[in-house]
Structure 1
Amino acid sequence: MIAAIQAAAQQRPDRPLVVGICGAQGSGKSTLAARLAQRLDRAATLSLDDLYLTRAERERLARDVHPLLRTRGAPGTHDIDLGLSVMAALDRGATVHLPRFDKATDDRRPESSWPTAPANAGVLLFEGWCVGARPQDDEALVQPVNTLERQEDRDGVWRRYVNAMLAGPYRALFERIDLLVLLAAPGWNVVYDWRLEQEEALRHSGAPGDAIMTAAEVGRFISHYERVTRHILAEMPQRADIVMALDAHRHCLSIDRP
């Protein structure tokens, strides 16, 4: 993969190569991005999670559009303009502060605490659970995919809004991706276990108790991600530049370049 990234970067000497890393929650996106950054020259990393809207902004969305938008994660809960401005600054070769979000407080960290990307960065590693995702056809939105949609989005307002965000603002952000890498989970059924492992890791790290979700809370939380994750697993393997097929233990079974 390093060789593929380096070769692609040579073809874009005028600006940083943007490598999109997509994968379901708990699939190892952040770990992969960190390891790649260590081996690549002048690499910067940005997570889609760090572009979340502030808590106050999501509260306004919950009031004005749909209550489910209070929960961070789904398309529509990120600051796309912030992401585009970061990429534009990197394109200019500037030294730019990279946004960071604090999941413990469910809010964006103060800008004074943001790390700095290197000047004249050669590669931007952009990772996130729905990085590069495409919208579904309208017909696919009719039937709910889980209890959350069936009980809390009965009229489909939330899922139509999410889909419209993918078709609109998110498209501009994802079109900046030069090389798309997919960490392909074996199926949606493993995501709950992977996300639960993340909460256990938080617990052992000494994070405050109110920042750690119970098993039931994890189940509800990932329901916000299910529809788009299933869609990604169905359609992205045919168009991603690199597909890493994972087993239930996150072992890489194969690396393909479709």
Structure 2
Amino acid sequence: MSPEPDRRAIDAIVAQIDAALRDIARRPIVLGLCGAQGSGKSTIAATLERRLRESGTNVATLSLDDLYLTHTQRRQRARNVHPLFATRGVPGTHDIALGEAIFAALDAGAPTRLPRFDKSSDDRARADERPILELPLDVLIFEGWCVGAQPQPAEALASPINMLEADEDPDGIWRRYANDALARPYQRLFARIDRLVLLAAPSFAVVRRWRLEQEEALRRDRPHGRALMDRSAIDRFIAHYERLTRHILIEMPDRADLVLRLDEQRRVRAIN
């Protein structure tokens, strides 16, 4: 489980939001919250929501995960582009047009229903499980493992980064398609972010342990979900994320508005 967020970290994020609210008028502020799997994004987002509501700010949270293509759509992409797209996560497995429509509705002050994704069933939640935003909205927290990420240079894609890529994407079709998606439609979506916060893991190696803890919590909450994974399945699953996670940890700290550097227990050890 994620530890209770450091008050200094929450204060630093709120300061970024307050500055954006002062600088930008007539539309909601979008706070981008990026962090590797299991880094505590959801816990921080929930704490921020409580803190902002206490000050009279109308706030909502949208996860990048909630924009996943449906199970059927990802199966179609797996058939038409590359089999690895059957697994959710990397750029190319999200409905970017849906995200753009949500942001456009928010900017227009129009009522909109936020999507929700049920990871235990590996598909979108039913319509009656999707909240309708209370308007007018002041702040939208947009969180996700690659929110705000930039594409890699083409030469970085030449060699596989792990056994999954070496065995199942030897020609680089999957990773190039994902990188091209990140370079174009995802950048349009991320351009709407007003402030970008990075939860920086100490290394990719710790992400596996964090992801195991996430799955254990999901198993407790939804013990009969058909998409729950064992340890070997999780190892394969996080291999899909390794390339871009490592890239984010290298390139994003220099351009994020705020970087919270975490230790292996997800405690904040530095705020930059």
Measured against the shorter chain, the TM-score band is over 0.9
2:20 is matched with 8
1:141 is matched with 157
**Equivalent residue in structure 1 for 2:129, among 95, 106, 113:** 113
The answer on 1:22 being equivalent to 2:34 is: yes
**1:209, 1:20 → 2: CA distance?**
29
**2:62 corresponds to which letter in structure 1?**
L
Q: Residues 213 and 4 (structure 1 numbering): CA distance in 2 closer, same or farther, change over 3 Å?
A: same
Deviation at 1:4, TM superposition (A): 2.2
**2:111, 2:145 → 1: CA distance?**
26
SS in 1 for 2:253: helix
1:168 is matched with 184
Contact 1:247-1:253 at 8 Å conserved across structures: yes
Deviation at 1:10, TM superposition (A): 1.9
**1:190, 1:115 → 2: CA distance?**
33
Deviation at 1:141, TM superposition (A): 0.2
Task: Identify unmatched segments of 5+ residues in structure 2.
Answer: 1-12
1:191 is matched with 207
Deviation at 1:13, TM superposition (A): 1.3
SS in 2 for 1:45: strand
User: What's the TM-score, normalizing by structure 1?
Assistant: 0.97
2:7 is matched with none
Q: How does 1:44-123 map to 2 (within 5 A)?
A: 44-123=60-139
**Corresponding residue pairs, total:** 256
**Equivalent residue in structure 1 for 2:227, among 207, 211, 220:** 211
The answer on 1:240 being equivalent to 2:256 is: yes
Q: Residues 206 and 50 (structure 1 numbering): CA distance in 2 closer, same or farther, change over 3 Å?
A: closer
Cα deviation code 1:198-242 (max 9, x no counterpart): 111122224216432111000000000000000000000000000
**1:98, 1:10 → 2: CA distance?**
26
**Equivalent residue in structure 1 for 2:144, among 128, 136, 147:** 128
Q: More displaced, 107-116 or 123-132?
A: 107-116
**1:210, 1:106 → 2: CA distance?**
8
**2:168, 2:150 → 1: CA distance?**
24
Deviation at 1:179, TM superposition (A): 0.1
**2:184, 2:17 → 1: CA distance?**
28
**1:192 corresponds to which letter in structure 2?**
R
**1:244, 1:234 → 2: CA distance?**
14
Contact 2:16-2:195 at 8 Å conserved across structures: no
Q: Residues 91 and 102 (structure 1 numbering): CA distance in 2 closer, same or farther, change over 3 Å?
A: same
SS in 2 for 1:211: coil
SS in 2 for 1:229: helix
- Give the fraction of aligned pairs with identical amino acids, expressed as a percent: 59
SS in 2 for 1:200: helix
Cα deviation code 1:24-44 (max 9, x no counterpart): 000011111111111111011
Cα deviation code 1:34-73 (max 9, x no counterpart): 1111111101110000000001111110000000001000
**1:206, 1:57 → 2: CA distance?**
24
Contact 1:95-1:120 at 8 Å conserved across structures: no
**2:112, 2:231 → 1: CA distance?**
38
Q: Residues 152 and 28 (structure 1 numbering): CA distance in 2 closer, same or farther, change over 3 Å?
A: same
Task: Identify unmatched segments of 5+ residues in structure 1.
Answer: none
SS in 1 for 2:208: helix
**2:86, 2:78 → 1: CA distance?**
5
The answer on 1:223 being equivalent to 2:239 is: yes
Q: More displaced, 206-215 or 195-204?
A: 206-215
**2:268, 2:132 → 1: CA distance?**
32
